[in-house]
């Protein structure tokens, strides 16, 4: 996540989401923490949704109904994914990102395809001189899927 200043609560939620993704914690714990914190004055539902979307899609599925349309519209998940494609470009990563993008779109979270496509292209450019086709294949597949989704939306 690229936000420079985050609250302790956001940091804790991110750690919960990482633990959920790692199978160390059940997603219900993170969902309940989200619900508890959602009543705080400085709570930013869009930021918390992005954390869940990126780190633990199962948590995102559990909290999406608690995030209103205005906050969904402020999501920056496209930028978060794009910023991480240079380090997370394996088959599992790219399949997960495609799934997250499909989930986001299906639930009223806008995705700036140009931003994610730029991230794909930057990552492919970085790999071009040294990586083989098998290494680059997940990014190429993600790019193709994004182009197809972009045509739909």
C-alpha dihedral sign at 48, 51, 52, 53: positive
Residue 2 has pLDDT above 70, yes or no: no
| pLDDT at residue number 1 | 44
Residue ranges of the alpha helices (H) in the chain? 8-21, 27-37, 45-55, 57-63, 69-73, 77-84, 91-106, 113-127, 133-152
Q: Binning pLDDT at 50, 70 and 90, where does residue 26 land?
A: very high
Q: pLDDT digit string (tens) for 50-89?
A: 999 999 999 999 999 999 999 999 999 999 999 999 999 9
Residue 3 has pLDDT above 50, yes or no: no
**Mean pLDDT on 108-117:** 97
**Mean pLDDT on 8-28:** 97
Q: How far is CA 26 from CA 22, 100, 128, in A?
A: 10, 19, 39
Q: Tokens at residue 58, please?
A: 């199962």
Label residues 74-94 b or e (16+ Cβ within 10 Å = b): ebbbbbbbbbbbeebbeeebb
pTM recorded for the entire structure: 0.92
Q: Are 75 and 50 in contact (CB under 8 A)?
A: yes
CB neighbourhood size of 123 (10 A) = 24
């Amino acid at each position: 996540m690229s936000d420079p200043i985050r609250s302790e609560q956001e940091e804790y939620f991110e750690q919960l989401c990482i633990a959920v993704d790692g199978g160390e914690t059940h997603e219900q714990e993170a969902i309940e923490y989200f619900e508890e914190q959602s009543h705080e004055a400085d709570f930013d539902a869009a930021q918390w949704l992005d954390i869940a979307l990126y780190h633990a899609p199962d948590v995102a599925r559990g909290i999406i109904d608690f995030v209103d349309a205005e906050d969904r519209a402020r999501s920056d998940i496209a930028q978060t994914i794009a910023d991480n494609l240079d380090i997370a470009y394996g088959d599992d990563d790219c399949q997960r990102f495609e799934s997250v993008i499909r989930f986001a779109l299906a639930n009223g979270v806008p995705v700036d395809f140009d931003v994610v496509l730029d991230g794909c292209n930057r990552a492919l450019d970085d790999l071009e001189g040294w990586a083989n086709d098998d290494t680059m294949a997940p990014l190429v597949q993600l790019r193709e899927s994004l182009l197809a989704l972009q045509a739909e939306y």
